[in-house]
Amino acid sequence: MVHAISFANKEDKRYNNNNRKRKIAADGLVVVDHARGIPALVIVLILFIVWKATLYHLKCHR
């Protein structure tokens, strides 16, 4: 009886570890997704700033 309970607990632990690993992997994917999104935002911002600066520059020289 005691042996069966300890075996069940061991199985439970293994199951929880697998779930934890899966959750960590999922969180990692989310972080990677955000990291992939950040450079795109930065590039868009830089382009926007350059475009604004160019417009301002042209306005000054006209």
Task: Give residue 36's Cα distance to chain centre.
Answer: 8
pTM of this prediction?
0.38
Three-state SS letters, the chain: CHHHHHHHHHHHHHHHHHHHHHHHHHHHHHHHHHHHHHHHHHHHHHHHHHHHHHHHHHHHHC
First-to-last alpha carbon distance for the chain, in angstroms, is 92
- pLDDT (tens, 9 = 90+) of the chain, 62 residues, equals 555 566 666 666 766 677 777 777 777 666 666 666 777 788 889 999 999 999 888 887 76
Domain tally for the chain? 1
Structural domain span for residue 9: 1-62
